[in-house]
Amino acid sequence: MEPAAAKLIGAGIACIGMGGAGVGVGIIFGNYLAAAVRNPSAAQGQFGNLIFGFAVTEALGIFSLLIALLLLFVPL
């Protein structure tokens, strides 16, 4: 296989990892919203935790995006 083609395919495969981060971020915000609707007075106090969980989860998806970007734009 051509190395250039392999790089492009690899970049596409690396992006699959972002799906997992998408699921994770959805679970975090969904659960936060469900809890906030049940007890709105406690919601504001957990906003920092929400953002922290979001950031940590999103980082993993960003890593796979980074691999895709490296494969696409960094000459080997």
Partner 1 sequence: MKIDPIHQFNIEPLFTIGHIGNHTIAFTNSSLYMFLSVAVISLLMIGGMAGRQLVPGRLQSIAEISYEFVASTIRSTAGTEGMKFFPLIFSLFMFICISNLIGIIPYTFTVSSHIIVTAALAFLVFFTVLIYGIYKNGLKFFKIFVPSGVPIYILPLVMFIEILSFFLRPVSHSVRLFANMLAGHIALKVFAGFVAMLGVSLGALGWAGGMLPLALTVALTALELLVAFLQAYVFAILTCIYLNDAIHPGH
Residue 3 in the binding site for partner 1 (CB under 8 A): no
The contact pattern for partner 1, residues 10-49, with x = CB under 8 A and - = no contact, is -----------------------------------x--x-
Could you tell me how many residues make up the chain?
Answer: 76
Smallest distance from the beta carbon of 69 to partner 1, in angstroms?
7
Angle at 19 between CA 14 and CA 22, to 5 degrees: 135
Q: How large is the angle between the packed helices 17-38 and 47-73, nearest 10 degrees?
A: 170
Q: Which stretch binds partner 1 (CB under 8 A): 1-9, 24-32, 34-42, 53-61?
A: 53-61
